[in-house]
Structure formats: C-alpha cells, structure tokens
C-alpha cells in the first residue's frame, strides 16, 4: 500500500535525501519533500520539526530525516510529542524500530551510510509493521513518559 512519507535533511544530508526520495518513488510511495532545496547551510532542528509536524498532524504516515550522522535529527525529532524517531544504520535496526518500538520517523546519516545501504534500510523500515503484543505495553510506557513532560 503506497504511503506518504515526509522527508527532509540539512545541508549535510542533502545528497542522500535525494537518493532516498528516488527510492521512495521507485517503491511507489509519495515523498512529501520538506526541504531544503540546495546545499546551502541550514540548521537541522528546523527540518526535524517540519517532518515531525507532518507526521503528528497526519500529513504523512511516516517520516525520514537525513543529516550528517542522523544524531542531531533524531535528538530533535524525539522532542516532538508523538514522535518516536530511530537512528538506524542497518536493516535489522530499521525492522526492530518499526516492529518493536513503533518508530514513526527514520533518521539516517549521509556521512556514515551509503546510498545503497540507505535504500535497504528505508525498504525495511517501510515494509515493517508494529507487532503490538508484548511491545504495545512498552510503547504505551513511552507515551506515559512523554505525557509527563
């Protein structure tokens, strides 16, 4: 089933973002591209918040963020209520993030993950559904922690 995926980067993740958008289209998904439009220096928190908002407001089913390492995007996105962003460097991590943690934003690092591996990580993330079951209670505990903030 085709998904709308919100995607953004900073300047350090711009090239990999373009590769990921091509992969999304190849897989039949819609990319809601939220910037930037070139490699001019920008601040990653601005773009992490744009993708997080698109996901929490229902404009996109999932989100993808790309910066130099993926760490800054992950930290920022996880500050947004309702976001469970996962920095994934392997297909296994992507499957577990979705299946066990119900992650709704994938974070990637252009300086540490090549385009081929990133494509496989994206495929795994998008193809995996939340397993629920014993994991549902744990995700609910995350929501409870978040509600206390």
What is the average pLDDT score of the chain?
97
Q: Tell me the average pLDDT across 22-39.
A: 98
pLDDT tens digits along 6-22: 999 999 999 999 999 99
Element (H, E) at 76: helix 71-77
In 10-121, DSSP assigns E strands to 30-33, 62-67, 85-87, 105-109
pLDDT tens digits along 45-74: 999 999 999 999 999 999 999 999 999 999
CATH number at residue 25: 3.40.1400.10
pTM: predicted TM-score of the whole model, two decimal places: 0.97
Structural domain including 67 reads: 4-147
Q: Residues of the chain with pLDDT > 70: what percent?
A: 100
For residue 10, the SS3 value is coil
CA atoms of 32 and 10, how far apart (whole Å)? 15
CA atoms of 2 and 106, how far apart (whole Å)? 17
Which DSSP letter does residue 29 get? P
pLDDT the model gives residue 138: 96
Catalytic residues: 67, 100
Q: Count up the domains in the chain and report the number.
A: 1
The total number of residues shown for the chain amounts to 149
Residue 1: pLDDT band (50, 70, 90) is confident
pLDDT at 140 over 80: yes
CA atoms of 9 and 29, how far apart (whole Å)? 18
């Amino acid at each position: 089933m085709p998904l709308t995926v919100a995607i953004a980067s900073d300047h350090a993740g711009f090239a990999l973002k373009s590769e990921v958008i091509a992969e999304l289209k190849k897989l039949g998904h819609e990319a809601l591209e939220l910037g930037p439009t070139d490699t001019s220096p920008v601040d990653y928190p601005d773009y992490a918040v744009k993708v997080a908002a698109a996901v929490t407001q229902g404009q996109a089913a999932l989100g993808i963020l790309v910066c130099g390492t993926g760490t800054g995007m992950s930290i920022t996105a996880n500050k947004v209520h309702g976001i469970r962003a996962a920095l994934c460097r392997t297909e296994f991590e992507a499957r577990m993030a979705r299946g066990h943690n119900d992650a709704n934003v994938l974070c990637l690092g252009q300086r540490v993950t090549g385009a081929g591996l990133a494509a496989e990580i994206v495929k795994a993330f998008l193809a995996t559904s939340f397993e629920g079951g014993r994991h549902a209670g744990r995700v609910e505990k995350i929501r409870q922690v978040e509600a206390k903030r």
